[in-house]
Structure 1
Amino acid sequence: MRASTDNSVPTTEWEGPAGFERFGLAGRFAVPDARRFRSTWRGLVVDGVQIGEWSTSPISGAQRPRRDAAAVMLVHVAEGSMRYWSDGRAVDARTGTLHLLSAADQIRFAVPEPSRMIRVTVPAAFLPQEVRAATSGSVGQVPVTRVTSGLTSLVEQVLDPMFGGASSPAARAVRALAVAALEDSVPEAAEHDLRSQILDHIERHLADPDLGPQSIAAAFGISLRWVHHVFNVDGASVARHIRERRLDMVAATLQSDRRFPRIGALAERSGFAARDQLTRAFKARYGMTIAEYAERAGEGRPPAPLAGDGAESA
């Protein structure tokens, strides 16, 4: 293993059997032929953000997770290819693709050919709360955008052995652009995962009259704006979904109970703050009163909800 510095850019090289043995201290790895093994890391930390370029001959293994600090990694495959496994999923990382990984996860990978990758590691503390929540685990491949392409180009400038370094003009923009790139890279998959968690939270708290966008934001540690952003992927609002699920509960009760329940009790069990609020919302959704619905349900003919309703928010 050799370490050097070109214009304030530290470089470490591992070569041959001895180099591979030292490289293996960072995790569990395997190579086709240790005699031909060659791996180079050039990197530095700029304003708390680690940037680097990893060039390697074929290698496979698993890198140890960093449990000491929560961080998010953007990995750009500049040359070659890699396959990695995260949460049981296999992802093929080809030249030109960008991938979002969590430093806290153990990532298994296989590099089948000589490859070069650009990596940017951003501490989670630098990220807005909503982005931190959406990237708490490895996400996988994310779209390449103008912002992420700009970050990759900037990192290569900072790592340039002739003109780069931590004190170069380009280095001053690394942190801001890295955070912007992560905000730009939060993919639909991560948003849908967060939305699924919110839906589950709603189902478990329907009877709570305080359930709403603000309480959800507080429960997940995200902004109110982000709650609405994540939830509105299909055009439905959070408040409307909560109201409709509460009305579904009421309708199910009317279909299963032989005796007509008190409306006040129905409102309390389904999370409505007042019986008047329940009766108005129910009629708007089903086009009839609760008593009329109960009568139809008793005859085995429960009406379906109307195509749309104009009930006020829950």
Structure 2
Amino acid sequence: MGATEGARGQARPAVSGCASIDLPSDPTGQRSILRLAGGEGLRAFAGRARDGSEQDGFRAQIVAGRYGPVDLCALRYTPHQLASAGVNFGHSYPVSRLLIMLEGGGTVWIGEHTIELGPGGGALLPGNLPVRYEVTETSSRIQLDLPADDPVFANHLQDVSLAHWQSRHFALEGLAAYGQALLRYDGSKASWAERAQARRGLEALALETVASAPSLDEVSRQSPRGFALDYIRRHFADPALTPQSVARAAGVSLRTMQRAFTGERSIAEWIAHYRLDHALALLRDERLSMLTNAEIAIRSGYGSTTSMRRAVALATGYSPTTYQRLHASAERE
């Protein structure tokens, strides 16, 4: 599907901050590339300037492509202000926008929330709330518009409607690197199977990123146990996560937090459970078969490949490589 076509066979909508005017396709027909400059370019970008020098000096480069149901953009721009183009960022269907900052930063106002974004940070923004952006320095970001009514994303986006990663996160970095590679790739030389694999890879990484999203819901509304389980689910991939760090994040003593888990798995056991469950899921996913054991260990929060091997062997009786091979064989039968 060409980059200027819609996910449902319609023309690409005017999307504020990504494709606010029709984007010309490059010779491969897989991407759209646009460079904007000055006041005219700023207006085409649907943005505004705080003063004349900011307007005259405005520059933006947009590279956009569509991969299955996902709109993917890489943007680089000078300072400006921007308001979203109506609901769902200009799409005619429900959308959540996933932002990953590569360089620079800015401020996002959405609903009653203010989100400060810096290098490596990110945000998941629902399309049903008004959004404003302000950028005070030259910045670049990767952006994905995820259809909230698509079967691949629907359940996950219902669970996490608004999120903010304040600092670098392995899922954000992996998705950003994959997205940049896709937009640099000459799709005209790819087979149908290669394009399908690229799309599935993007979807899998986007889902993994959404699953890691730290919610903006007020912590005070949760019990210590409820907060701890939610926090562990979102941060298990951090090898520095410990019962002590969970208690600190909840604002309670370690003893208080431990009492909340009396008679069941301990906090440390819950951390181990989520890490193992994620590692096994990655090993079973044929779309991610290119990942090494070391990469899976990092994504699952293990401090070393040895730690992951020990956990997988204890739970399954097999090494990670053998477990992956046996599961792949069972799927083919």
TM-score with structure 1 setting the length: 0.54
Deviation at 1:99, TM superposition (A): 1.4
Question: Which residues of 2 match residues 286-301 of structure 1 at below 5 A?
Answer: none
1:40-96: CA deviations, max 9, x gaps?
A: 211111010111111111101312233432222221110111112123333221111
Verify: 1:141 aligned to 2:162, yes or no: no
Check conservation: 2:121, 2:168, Cα contact below 8 A: yes
Is the 2:99–2:142 Cα contact (8 Å) retained in structure 1? yes
Question: What secondary structure sits across from 1:41 in the alignment?
Answer: strand
Give the partner amino acid of 1:60. Q
1:12 aligns with 2:34: yes
Measure how far apart 1:112 and its partner are.
0.7
After TM superposition, list the pairs within 5 Å mapping 1:217-228 onto structure 2.
none
Query: Per the alignment, do residues 148 and 96 of structure 1 end up closer, same or farther by CA in structure 2, a change over 3 Å counting?
Result: closer
Does the 8 Å contact 2:36/2:61 carry over to 1?
yes
- Superposed displacement of residue 113, structure 1: 1.1
Query: C-alpha separation between the residues in 1 aligned to 2:207 and 2:189?
Result: 20
**Whole-Å separation in 2 of the counterparts to 1:193 and 1:87:** 20
Instruction: Give, in whole Å, the separation in 1 of the partners of 2:165 and 2:189.
Output: 29
Give the Cα–Cα distance (whole angstroms) in 2 for the partners of residues 105 and 194 of structure 1: 23
Q: Runs of 5+ in structure 1 lacking a partner?
A: 200-225, 238-314
AA paired with 1:30? A
Q: What CA distance in whole angstroms lies between the structure 2 residues aligned with 1:10 and 1:175?
A: 20
Q: Which residue of 2 aligns with 1:303?
A: none
Question: For 1:164 and 1:182, how far apart are their aligned partners in 2?
Answer: 30
Distance 1:141 1:29, change over 3 A: farther
1:103-140 Cα deviation digits (max 9, x unpaired): 222211111111111011211123253x333333x333
1:41 matches 2:62: yes
2:137 alignment partner, SS class: coil
1:66 equivalent in alignment to 2:87: yes
Does 2:27 align with 1:23?
Answer: no
In the TM superposition, 1:194-213 aligns within 5 A as none
Distance 1:77 1:133 in 2: 24
| C-alpha distance in structure 1 between counterparts of 2:173 and 2:126, whole Å | 20
Q: CA deviation at 1:148?
A: 2.9
1:99 aligns with 2:123: yes
Separation in 2 of the partners of 1:153 and 1:165?
A: 21
Q: CA RMSD in A?
A: 3.5
Distance between the aligned counterparts of 2:144 and 2:221, measured in 1? 24
Alignment of 1:247-258 (within 5 A): none
In 2: Cα distance, 1:165 partner to 1:53 partner:
21
How many residue pairs get aligned? The number is 200
Q: Does 1:184 align with 2:212?
A: yes
Question: SS of the residue aligned with 2:129?
Answer: coil
Using the alignment, how far apart are the partners of 1:193 and 1:5 within structure 2?
A: 50
Verify the 8 A CA contact 1:37 1:57 in the aligned structure 2: yes
**1:183 to partner: Cα distance:** 1.4
Cα distance per residue 1:130-179 (max 9 Å; x no partner): x333333x333356433332211110110115579986553441112212
Do the aligned residues in 2 keep the contact of 1:98 with 1:141 (CA within 8 Å)? yes
Structure 1: how far apart are the matches of 2:261 and 2:215? 16
Q: 1:82 to 1:5 in 2, by over 3 A?
A: same
Retained in 2: the 8 A contact 1:122–1:179?
Answer: no
Q: Secondary structure at the match of 1:150?
A: helix
One-letter amino acid of the structure 1 residue matched with residue 49 of structure 2? A
- Other-structure match for 2:175: 151
In 1, distance between residues paired with 2:209 and 2:188? Answer: 21
Identity of aligned residues (%): 19
Partners of 1:117 and 1:90 in 2: CA distance:
18
What pairs up with 1:155-170 in 2 under 5 angstroms? 155-160=179-184, 168=195, 170=198
* Structure 1 counterpart of 2:298: none
- Taking the aligned partners of 2:220 and 2:94, their CA distance within structure 1 comes to 19
User: Compared with structure 1, are the counterparts of its residues 152 and 194 closer, same or farther at alpha carbon in structure 2 (3 Å cutoff)?
Assistant: farther
2:120–2:167 contact (8 Å) kept in structure 1:
no
**Equivalent residue of 2:56, what SS?**
helix
Unaligned runs of 5+ in 2: 1-20, 235-249, 251-256, 263-333
Cα distance in 2 for residues equivalent to 1:77 and 1:92 = 11
Pair member with larger Rg: 1
